[in-house]
Amino acid sequence: MEHELDMIVIGWGKGGKTLAGTMARAGQRVAIVEASARMYGGTCINIGCVPTKALIHDAETRTGNGFDPGYFDTAVQRRDKLTAAMRAKNFSMLDDLDSVMAITGRATFIGPRRLRIQAGEKTMELGAKRIIINTGAVPQVPDLGGVRIGGRIHDSTTLQHAPLPASLVVVGGGYVGTEFASMFAHFGSRVTVLDRGPRALKKEDEDVAAEVLGALGDVGVEVRTGASVQRIEQDAGSARVHYIQDGQTREIEAEAVLIALGRTPATDGLDLAAAGIELTSSGAIKVDEHLRTTAEGVYALGDVNGGPQFTYVSLDDNRIVADAILGTGTRSTADRVAVPSTIFTTPPLARVGLSEEAARARGLEIKVAVKKVAEIAAMPRPKIVGDPRGIIKFVVDANTDLVLGAALMHVDSQEVINLVALAMRQKVTSAALRDSIFTHPSSTEALNEVLGTFSR
């Protein structure tokens, strides 16, 4: 079977599915190809943002203490019900459009803008004026002895459905590792994080990282730094992680191990070379500022193109390509300023822009405002909800008073950071933020006080 289309989207992630709908409503003939029926809607709603935050919410709000596998199972059931509903809605949003052909199958390039798709026992060939690669990323598994995902060794996807482990070792002290460590500790697991660096969360300023690690310690998480994992063994009863720390070989045993060492672009099986599509040295699809690959008419959206691995960045990728096709073609990745992010530890750490360390490394003349949440008089919201932990830190240009970056670790920080990012994009000074009128009691009003405490 051969079909000539206006666009084919490979993968049902945020950017691709949104673009497919936009093009279909504009009168174009579109096919969207997804390898698994369990991934309609993409990583975010099925195995990433939505399900993990649902689990985190249930972990934070449980009333009991200690190890409770039954409560975890109930939380997983709620998670699954939520994702199933969102998956079905995402499928219908495209499948219900007359000009969209939704295909469950695996796509492989067989030439420029031409694909072979294996859909069960059926094979078809599709060609299109434009092809969008939107296959996302997959957890990175290190090349270490005994490390394979299965049994008691997990990645961030499989651990969400594993029996609640009484003990858990997390390999990797980055964003995913600390978020999962916090979540499972709140569910009652005894958690140990092994990080090979001198401290976890190495991209954060030391005072900010210390607040996050302190919150992890409050729920019993032990973080071992300078720990280089050598191999992992497992049997029916446990897993044993062998690592080197301070020049000595050590071992730790647990019911489960989480490998949290980042994610890598998902390009296996696409045969990109057949279409003339090149990769970067890190394995991402090479794109320009308009997300065009090295093959004419082929674009790459989302995590697969090597950009920031956030669903909202994938959504912005969609805006860039939509503008290239239907608009002026002027929108690009260069337009992105002050993109925020959040680690959903308890309380969450949200950040945007430069850290103090990064700003000083660039030789910028800065002033810094920093205060622990518990010491902020004009911020009753965290005290009201019973969690006054955290820190607020701003890095500001000493000459222009413009905000260069901020790190917020407190209740509601995932919301407040969006205001700060908007202020940065609109070039609002720190003084204007300081003197703004905010609702009370809220977490946002902390800016009134914190931004009046600068030091060089």
- In degrees, to the nearest 5, what angle opens at C-alpha 349 toward C-alphas 343 and 351? 95
Known catalytic residue: 186?
Answer: no
Distance CA 190, CA 218 (A): 12
DSSP-assigned letter for residue 402: B
Tokens of 360: 């000083």
Q: 39 forms bridges with which residues in the sheet?
A: none
Contact 441, 448 (CB under 8 A): no
Distance CA 405, CA 355 (A): 6
* Active-site option among 154, 161, 290, 440: 440
Contact 15, 318 (CB under 8 A): yes
Phi, psi of 140 (to 5 degrees): -85, 130
**Residue linked to tokens 């997300």:** 291
Distance CA 219, CA 113 (A): 52
3-state SS of 284-344 is CECCCCCCECCCCCEEECHHHHCCCCCHHHHHHHHHHHHHHHHCCCCCCHHHCCCCCEEEC
How many CA atoms lie within 13 Å of 429's alpha carbon, on the beta-carbon side?
Answer: 9
Phi, psi of 277 (to 5 degrees): -100, 125
Contact 162, 255 (CB under 8 A): no
Q: Would you name the residues annotated as active-site residues? A: 440
